[in-house]
A and B are shown apart, each in its own frame.
Chain A
C-alpha cells in the first residue's frame, strides 16, 4: 500500500454535481472553479446504477473534462496531484471505471480517492451523526449517517429539485406571456452571431449573402421570447428573482412573501415581467403535496421511518442541508415549517420533532459537498486507489466499499440474548449495535482519544480504510501475514446476518460487500468472491434493498445486514488496519460463536 504521507502538493478535489461541477484544491475554503457539468454526466440517474452510455463514451467525456479541469481550470500538473472524486452514491460502474482509466492512463495521477459525496458535508458539522439533505438539480437525496456509518438502507430520494423549479418557472412565464400578449423589442441585429467569424471562413455563405431579413420580420412577441429562453437564463431568473415563501405561525413580521412584480432584464432593452406570485409560486413544487411526486418533507419522513427507532433522535439533531436549490432564499425556514407539520401528523415521529436541529455551516450550500471533500483531502493517511493498484488490475472501488465501517469492533447485535441476533426485538430501545455503539468501543479500544474524538476520527477512517477493502490485493497480504485470522472471522458476521428474516434483498448487498473480503460469505467461493463484479451486483442490489424493509422490525434487520458486512471489507485492506483491529476482531469472533 503506497501512502502518500507527505502531502506536499494538496489534492485536487472534484465534485461532479448534476448541474455544476466544482473543482479546486484540498484545504481551500471554496472551489476554484464552478462550471456546468458535461451533459453525459447529467444524464446519470440516481436510482439506476446502469447507464446507457458505453464505457468508451464515458472515457471520452471524462478525458475532455479532466483535461480541462487540470490544464485549464486548475492549472496543475496531474502527475503530482492526488484526486478526490466526490462520488455519487450510485454512479454507474462504467463511469467510475472510466474515471480511473482516464486519470491513471491518460493523466498519470498518483492516486484517486472515491468518496461518497453525501458523507462529506458532515465534516463541516464536526459531528459523526446526522442527516445530510442534498437538494440538487435533479432530485433531493437524503442520507442518514450514524456514527460515521452511512445508513444506505434508509437512503431516500425525493423527486424534486432545481430542475422542477425551472420547469415550473418556464410554465409560469409562458402562461403569463399568453395571457398578456405583447410585443417586445428585437435585440439589435448582428450582435449575436456565434459561428463563422470572418468573411473568408465561410466562402459559401459569403457568396449568396445579402440578407434581406430584418425588414419584414414579424414583431417579436413576449411568448416567443419566453419560449426561446435557454436553460441557463432560466436558471439565472430562478436564482435572482425567486424565493421560497414562508410564513411563521404568528402571522406577524416573519413573512417572506411579497406582492412585488419585478422585471428581469434580458438583453439590452428587453425585460421579462415576473409576477409576484410566480416568484414564490414556482418553488412550491418542492413542497408539493399533490402526491404527484415525493416532496422533500415526505422524503425526510420516509428516511426516518427506515431508520432504526433508537437512533432517530440522535440523527435529527444534526441536519445539514446542501445543494444548489437549498440556496434559494427562505429554503431553510420553509423546510422547518413543513417538517414540523409532517412530524405532527405522524404519531410515530412526533417525539423527534423537538430534537430537530439544523447545522448552519458557514459555507454556501451549493459547495458544501466540495468543501467537505477539501477537508477530507487535507487529512493524512486516508486510503486511496493508487496507480500501482490500478496497474495490477485491482478494480475500481465500489461505493459499497466505503460504506464499510472501519473499526469492525462490532459486538453482538442485541443486548441480552445472542440468539436474538437476527431480529432484534422491535422497539427494544437499543440501537443496533453496529450503528450506535461502535464509536465508544472504537475509541476505547483503538483510539486513545476521547470518544468524541474517536467519533469524528472515525469519520476519517471509514472512507480511509475501506476503499481498499474490496480491491486490495489482500491475497498477498493475507498469505504473508499470519494475522488475518481475526479479520477473517470478521466477515463472518456479514454472512451471519444474511439469513436473517426478511432480508433477501439485503442479502445481495451483503454478498456484494462481503464478496470484497473474499473469504466472505458462506457462498464457498472464497477467492472469486473478491472480484468486484460481486461488488457491482451489490451496488445494484442495494438501492432495491433500501425500500424493502418496510416494517419496522424488518427494517432494522435490513439496516443491520446492510451495515454489518461493512467490517468485512475493512480488514482486508491494509495489514496495518487489520492488525489494529485485532482486538475488535477477537470480540467479533466471539460474537460469531454465539450466533452459531
Chain B
C-alpha cells in the first residue's frame, strides 16, 4: 500500500492526471483518470508513456521479513503463511518481540515497548529455538484450525464425489441421450423442440410417495440427523439456552459473566483481536504472539509493451535498490507552484499563477502547453445554449477555472548533474536555449529551470468550490541513450477555494 499524506481540500498543489480512458482499450483507463503527484508516476521508455501504478502490472518478485530483513523464497513464504519464521510480534502493541533469558535460564519473549512478556501466557522454553517452536505450536493448536480441516476435508470429498458423478453421467449420456429418460418418463416426444418442453404424463404415485415420505420425515425427524458425516457442529436449543438449569447454558452464562468482571484494560481491543491469529480471544490473556508479516519486493511492467518499468534487486537492502527504475521524476519536468495568495481567488477575478519547471534530463526539453484546452468557453461567438451543451464535453474533468493565456511553446534547458554538486560555482550556460521568450509568460529562465506565469479566471458559478484548472502539455526530449521521446502529460493545478463574488 503506497502511503500518502493526502491533501486538505483546496490545498494548493500541482498534480498529474493519468489513466484517462481514451477508449484505447488498454484497460488502464478509468473515465476521468486519477491525479498523482510526480513522485508516484512512472515512465515507460519503450512506449514513451507517463503512467501511474495503475497503468502498470505488478508482480511479486521476492519476500522478506521487515525485521530480520532476510529473504524468503516464495514457496517457503507460502508455507509459512507469508510470515517470518523467526520474528514475532507483541500481541498487545504489535512491536517486534525480543527473546530474553530470565535468571533461571528460561527464555521468553518480551516486548521492549509495553513490557508484555510471554510468561504471562505460559510461553517459555529452555532455549531460544525451542521457544520459537513452542510459539509455532501455539499457533498450530488453534481449535479453529482443526475444525476447519475437518470441514474442508468433508466438503472436498463431497464435491469430488459429485464431480465424479457428474462426469460419469456426462460420459454415459454422450453415448446415449435417452439412457436416463425412458426408465422414468418414457420417450420425450417433443424433445428437441425449443418451446414445448417435454410433454409426458407423469406418474402420480411416484410423486405422492415422495411427498408422503418427505412429510413424515419433516414431522418426525430433526434435521440435524442428516448432518454430514465427519461434521459435528455443536448446537444448543433455544429452550436450553434460556433454561438456567442446562449445563451448557450455564457455562455460557458464566463465561460471559466472568468477562464482565474483568477490568476494561485487560479486554482486547478490536485491533488486537483482528490482528491475532487466535481471533476470538476476548481478553488480553487469550492473545498469542503472531509472527511478523513479510513484506514484498515487486516489479512493475508496462501494460502495453510488457517491458519492465521497475525491477527491484532481490535483496531488500542492496544499493542501488533497483535493477531498473524508470520513474517519471527522471524524465518529466518537476513543477513547483508559487504559493498563491488565497485572497486573490475570487469569482470573476483574473489572477496570475506562477510556477517553476525543472528539467530533469540532460537535453533540452520542448514543452507545448495547450493552455486553453479545457476552457469552458472555447469559442466566444457561440450562443449561450450551445455553450452549455459544450461545457461538459470541453470540460470533462470539472475544472472550475479558465486559462486566459494563449497556447505556447517553450524550451527548458538541460539538467546538469554538476549543478547539484558544485552549486553556484558553475556559471549556468543559458545561451544554449533561445531567449525569445514572451516575458509575460516565461518570466525567468536559469539553467534547467523556467518560471511560467499564467493568467486564469474562475468560472462565474464556481464560488465555494476548489479552484482547479488543467493544462495538457506535450513534451519532447532525449534520454541518456539519446533516444527521443514524445510524450504528453496533463497538469492539474489546484489553487485554493474560490471565494464568492468579488466587488
Residues of chain A touching chain B, judged by Cβ–Cβ distance below 8 Å, are 20, 27-30, 32, 34-35, 54-57, 59-60, 63, 67-68, 71-72, 74-77, 105-106, 108, 123-130, 194-196, 204, 235-236, 239-241, 243, 248-250, 252-256, 258, 260, 262-265, 310-311, 313-314, 317-318, 327, 329-330, 332-333, 336-337, 339-340, 353-364, 366-367, 371, 374-375, 378-382, 411-412, 415-416, 418, 429-431, 433, 436-437, 440-441, 446-449, 451-453, 455-457, 460-461, 464, 482-483, 485-486, 488-490, 492, 519, 526, 575-577, 579-580, 582-583, 585-594, 596
A429/B233 contact (C-beta < 8 A), A329-B256, A364-B280, A447-B165 known? no
A309 to chain B, nearest CB (A): 11
In the assembled complex, the Cα of A590 lies from the Cα of B198 at a distance in Å of 6
**B425 in contact (CB, < 8 A):** no
Q: List 22 contacting pairs A-B, 8 Å CB cutoff, sorted by A.
A: A30-B142, A60-B34, A248-B244, A327-B280, A329-B259, A340-B242, A357-B238, A358-B235, A359-B235, A360-B234, A361-B233, A364-B280, A415-B211, A431-B215, A441-B210, A488-B193, A488-B197, A490-B197, A586-B184, A590-B199, A594-B201, A596-B199
* Residues of chain A lying within 8 A (CB to CB) of residue B201: 590, 593-594
A127/B227 contact (C-beta < 8 A), A482-B177, A586-B198, A590-B185 known? yes
A375:B270 contact, CB within 8 angstroms: no
Q: A460-B158, A579-B169, A593-B201 are in contact. List 9 more A-B contacts (CB 8 A).
A: A125-B227, A254-B253, A359-B235, A364-B280, A366-B279, A379-B155, A431-B218, A483-B173, A593-B199
**B214 in contact (CB, < 8 A):** yes
A76/B60 contact (C-beta < 8 A), A32-B81, A411-B202, A489-B197 known? yes
A460/B159 contact (C-beta < 8 A), A20-B274, A195-B5, A589-B200 known? yes
Instruction: Give the one of B144, B159, B215, B277 with max A CB within 10 A.
Output: B159
**B285 in contact (CB, < 8 A):** no
* Residues of chain A lying within 8 A (CB to CB) of residue B210: 411, 437, 440-441
In the assembled complex, the Cα of A204 lies from the Cα of B8 at a distance in Å of 15
A380:B170 contact, CB within 8 angstroms: no
B198:A486 contact, CB within 8 angstroms: yes
A456:B199 contact, CB within 8 angstroms: no
In the assembled complex, the Cα of A444 lies from the Cα of B195 at a distance in Å of 28
* Residues of chain B lying within 8 A (CB to CB) of residue A235: 270
The 0/1 profile, CB within 8 Å of A marked 1, for residues 247-259 of chain B is: 0011011001101
Which one, A264, A358, A519, contacts B241 given CB within 8 A? A358
B residues 159-180 touching A (CB-CB < 8 Å) = 159-163, 165-167, 169-170, 173-174, 177, 180
Residues of chain B touching chain A, judged by Cβ–Cβ distance below 8 Å, are 1, 5-6, 8, 21, 27-28, 30-32, 34, 53-54, 57-60, 63, 77, 81-82, 142-145, 147-149, 151-152, 154-156, 158-163, 165-167, 169-170, 173-174, 177, 180-181, 183-185, 188, 190-202, 206-208, 210-211, 213-215, 218, 222-224, 226-229, 231-239, 241-244, 249-250, 252-253, 256-257, 259-261, 263-265, 267-271, 273-274, 277, 279-280, 282, 294, 296, 298, 339
B77:A579 contact, CB within 8 angstroms: no
B238:A336 contact, CB within 8 angstroms: yes
Which one, A258, A337, A592, contacts B198 given CB within 8 A? A592
A582:B181 contact, CB within 8 angstroms: yes
A248/B242 contact (C-beta < 8 A), A378-B156, A485-B191 known? yes
* Residues of chain B lying within 8 A (CB to CB) of residue A594: 201-202
B223:A437 contact, CB within 8 angstroms: no
A179 to chain B, nearest CB (A): 21
A30/B144 contact (C-beta < 8 A), A71-B296, A437-B211 known? yes
A240/B233 contact (C-beta < 8 A), A254-B249, A256-B257 known? no
A456:B235 contact, CB within 8 angstroms: no
B494 to chain A, nearest CB (A): 15
List the A residue with the shortest CB-CB distance to B219. Answer: A313
* Residues of chain B lying within 8 A (CB to CB) of residue A587: 184-185, 202
A364/B27 contact (C-beta < 8 A), A256-B260, A415-B211, A590-B198 known? no
* Residues of chain B lying within 8 A (CB to CB) of residue A437: 210-211, 214
* Residues of chain A lying within 8 A (CB to CB) of residue B280: 327, 363-364
B241:A336 contact, CB within 8 angstroms: yes
B30:A580 contact, CB within 8 angstroms: no
A461:B253 contact, CB within 8 angstroms: no
A460/B155 contact (C-beta < 8 A), A482-B177, A485-B188, A485-B198 known? yes
* Residues of chain A lying within 8 A (CB to CB) of residue B173: 483, 579-580, 582
Which one, A241, A436, A455, A577, contacts B264 given CB within 8 A? A241
